[in-house]
A and B are shown apart, each in its own frame.
Chain A
Amino acid sequence: MQVPAYVEYEKATSVEHALTLLARFGPEARILAGGHSLIPMMKLRLVQPETLIDINGLGELSYIDVAGGELRIGALTRHAELLDSAVAGEHFAILHDAERVIADPVVRNWGTIGGSLCQADPSEDLSGTFAALKASMIIRGPDGSRTVSAREFHTGPYETVVAPGEMLSEISIVIRPGCGSAYEKVGRRVGDWPIAAAAAVVWLDGARGPGEGGAGEGGPGKGGPGGERISEAGLGLTAVGAPNFAAAEAEEYLCGAPAVEETFAEAGRIAAENCNPVSDQRGPADYKRHLARELTVRALRRASERARAACRSR
């Protein structure tokens, strides 16, 4: 029988109250959101907090909306809510791709977006996803709030920049026209962490509004089926030891390149070359590297198709 060790419990009534409790109980206190990572770890004594600060009642942290040209996701939003959100899927189809393969439907009902990110598992699907989206993390603390880019959020396995006394409050993503996005994952079975996964976000030129920057230049070829070039790309990799969950070298190559198969293949090659998978119970390193390459290609292909569709509908 697995039960957590003795722990004190406080129920926060507001974000301010949660921050006060964090300050009062110190670094051995932990925020309790969905608990679907924290409680299993407490059962195994991998973590043994002195105090849990339950934020499940904080409706002010549970929202998905568009404001100021950004999609904003409150940290307490449940996975199922993000998967059900039409506005999230409309702007960033990758969020639905990823949520559909995170854990299982029952776990998604209670697990939270912020909790998954703060758990910072090296195989967390959302970490690669938000790295590709170049999202911003808003962290609240006793001195107000600060914003950190998704790529600076993780400092290592199970470690983030969120300091004792602080809490993640929101994830925001800038909405720009001409965008398409996709997530591709291979896992051993339903509900499992990925063996490897790739996230791709592309912006195709010709779709940007006035004053939002022009098309990239210098790429080879004549462009995609409609002559499109990739003006900007975000590539995320999960579970393969990519620095900051991103494939920066491949992104650089994609910038200004035509949106065609040859480009995707080369980006996949570069992405696979620059990640550092390790062999473990989910698979050998060379297999994971192969997946990083192939899944990057598939994600780019699908993201570009979606970007084209978005351009056509404008």
Chain B
Amino acid sequence: MQITVNVNGADYSRDVEARLLLIHFLRDDLGLTGSHWGCDTSNCGACVVWLDDTPVKSCTVLAAMADGRKVRTVEDLAMKGAGEAGGGRLDPIQQGFAECHGLQCGFCTPGMMMTARWLLDRIPDPSPEEIREALSGQICRCTGYENIVRSVLWASKHTGGSVASAEADE
């Protein structure tokens, strides 16, 4: 079947099987390997991307279900955050993970960051409890949760204007 999905601002039309999962569409058909394919059972959250305006676990969504919708992946964080004139500046969430050692092996990081971005868009100044709750559907098998929470807190204190300005453009 023919689907057209807007991924990170660009339309992609592909002929796919109805059973193709969104995570495989992104990674294998579009080559966007930033989103990770983890547990395959919607438990770990490594595959989290935005579908329209909310994070979803893309191992449990068919690519066909994204037809005519917008998808946002981790590849879009810096682009969106920096813009053409931003010199490739990272989103504050990405900066936070770098500053606070928010990743060890990095496998869970793309999903963590996409959900964290969504949280800060809704709640710009979250408490550590709110961060833990928002990320509770995502697993870090390095068990680096303390630093992940610190990273998101760091991002909430260093908005840097990049994201706000990018979203004002939309």
Q: Which residues of A contact B (CB under 8 A)?
A: 1-9, 11, 32, 35-36, 39-40, 42-43, 52, 54, 56-57, 80, 103-107, 109-110, 190-191
Contacts and interface: CB of A to CB of B under 8 A. Distances in A.
A6 B60 contact: no
A105 B122 CA distance: 13
Contact of B61 (A11, A39, A57): A39
B65 A4 contact: no
A106 B55 contact: yes
Interface stretch (B4-12, B16-24, B97-105): B16-24
Contact of B65 (A8, A56, A104, A106): A56
A8 B17 CA distance: 9
B19 A6 contact: yes
B137 A105 contact: yes
B29 interface: no
Contacts of A42: 19
B163 interface: no
Contacts of B42: 36, 40, 107
B137 A103 contact: yes
Interface stretch (B43-51, B73-81, B88-96): B43-51
Chain B interface size range: 20 to 34
Interface of B: 1, 17-21, 24, 40-43, 45, 48, 51, 54-57, 60-62, 64-65, 67-68, 115, 133-134, 136-138
Contacts of A105: 115, 133-134, 136-137
Contacts of A52: 18, 62
Nearest to B1: A9
Nearest to B48: A106
Given A11-B64, A105-B134, A106-B137, 10 more contacts: A2-B40, A4-B19, A6-B17, A9-B1, A32-B62, A39-B21, A42-B19, A52-B18, A107-B137, A110-B60
Given A7-B19, A9-B18, A43-B40, A191 B136 contact: yes
Contacts of A190: 136-137
Nearest to A190: B136
A54 B64 contact: yes
B26 to A, nearest CB: 15
A179 B21 CA distance: 44
Contacts of B56: 106, 109-110
25 contacts: A3-B19, A3-B24, A5-B19, A9-B18, A9-B64, A11-B64, A11-B67, A35-B61, A36-B57, A36-B60, A39-B21, A52-B18, A54-B65, A80-B54, A104-B137, A105-B134, A105-B137, A106-B45, A106-B57, A106-B138, A107-B57, A109-B55, A109-B56, A110-B56, A191-B136
